[in-house]
Amino acid sequence: MLKTELCELLGIEYPIIQGGMAWIATGELAAAVSNAGGLGVIGAGHAPAEVVRSEIKKAKELTNKPYGVNVMLLSPHVEEVIEVVYEEEVPVITTGAGSPGKYIDKLKEVGTKIIPVVPSVALAKRIARLEVDAIIAEGTESGGHVGNLTTMALVPQIVDAIDLPVIAAGGIADGRGLSAVLALGAIGVQVGTRFVCAEECTVHPNYKEAIIKAKDRDAVVTARSTGHPVRNLKNKLTRQMDKLESNGASKEKLEELGVGRLQHAAEEGDVKEGSVMAGQIAGMVEQEQPAADIIQEFIQQAEGVLKENIELIGE
């Protein structure tokens, strides 16, 4: 059975973390992934604290396994969300869009593991000076807000630069990706887009269908000029974004156009003018499956790849 340091660190069976996708990663999905042996993660996004608490309680009702919450540090509700995470004694948090430094001592009081997501070596080095438990190195292939470096280039550089365990994210859809990043020095993977199409994911069916229908070049990046580029499946919204940007629209105008669009897509099913955040692996997702089947496919394929390579070396 494929086990790594990540399994021991988080008390999970398989080295797979589900991405904490805002408006998508609910308590139902997180619990399903945790019950299947991975680490399910609730996406807090910009949701108010009581909404996050509700999803945490839902996850607790559905699983007795470790689970996590992704905390967006730029959320206007971040202070209240951290308080909820503390009160509910959430086992693990992943963080994005900043440094969790000011919250670490408080969360460590209740044993919460803290794993920031970073897109660069420089940020990884800064975050590694804090008392965090691991780092997620996220390549530009991922969905949502992205950096510039690919997973293949980013992961080994961060592994070499810091003394913390590194988890790889971005462009990982199956066991081949898992085995590849283990070879790069990572101890596991974070997977987002494929879990959107888990049966237990409560996102609107139109969103799942858009991913399943996506081709290899359909996940595009918009709003680079704002400094906060986003990867979505191309649609009317992305074309509007591209047109505005090419005409020199201000950062404020571009960001205004994007406000609320993810919720429109995820909850209301507007995949034409909503923001359908998905990674470049969308073209590899072919069907809706139970979360447990997704995880088992990952592990069985990774074990097969690793075993085959070991046998080749033996020859």
User: Does 173 map to a domain?
Assistant: yes
Do 153 and 293 fall within a single domain?
yes
Amino acid letter, residue 77? H
Q: Are residues 102 and 45 in the same domain?
A: yes
Residue 208: inside a domain, yes or no?
A: no
Nearest to 209 by CA among 196, 218, 220: 196
**pLDDT at residue number 237:** 93
SS3 state at 260: coil
pLDDT at 310: 62
Based on the fold, state whether residues 262 and 295 are members of the same structural domain.
Answer: no
Contacts of 246 (CB under 8 A, 6+ apart): none
Is 126 found in the same domain as 110? yes
The whole-number pLDDT of residue 279 equals 96
Same domain, 177 and 55: yes
Angle among Cα 118, 243, 258 to the nearest 5 degrees reads 50
- Residues 162 and 268 both lie in one domain: no
Domain-located, residue 209: no
Kindly state whether residue 30 falls inside one of the protein's structural domains: yes
Q: Which residues of the chain have pLDDT under 50?
A: 314-315
Q: What token pair was written down for 155?
A: 């992961």
Let me know whether 39 and 103 are in one domain. yes
In a domain, 119, yes or no: yes
Same domain, 19 and 128: yes
- Rounded to whole angstroms, the Cα distance separating 55 from 210 reads 25
- Clarify whether residues 133 and 260 are in a common domain: no
Provide the pLDDT for residue 277: 95
Residues 174 and 83 in one domain: yes
Amino acid at 154: L
Asked if 98 and 222 sit in the same domain, the reply is no
Q: What is the CATH number of the domain that holds 130?
A: 3.20.20.70
Considering the domain boundaries, does residue 230 fall inside one?
A: yes
Total tally of structural domains belonging to the chain: 2
- Contact present, 91 and 67 (Cβ < 8 Å): yes
What one-character DSSP code corresponds to residue 17?
E
- Per the structure, the complete domain to which residue 239 belongs is given by 215-277
Per-residue pLDDT tens digits for 30-78: 999 999 999 999 999 899 999 999 999 999 999 999 999 999 998 899 9
For the CA atoms of the chain, what is the radius of gyration?
18
Q: How far is CA 46 from CA 50, 75, 79, 140, 187, in A?
A: 12, 5, 12, 22, 29
Q: Quick one: 159 and 240 in the same domain?
A: no
Q: How many CB atoms lie within 10 A of CB 289?
A: 18
- pLDDT on residue 248: 86
User: 210 lies in a domain?
Assistant: no
Distance CA 269, CA 257 (A): 18
Name the 3-class secondary structure at 116. Answer: strand
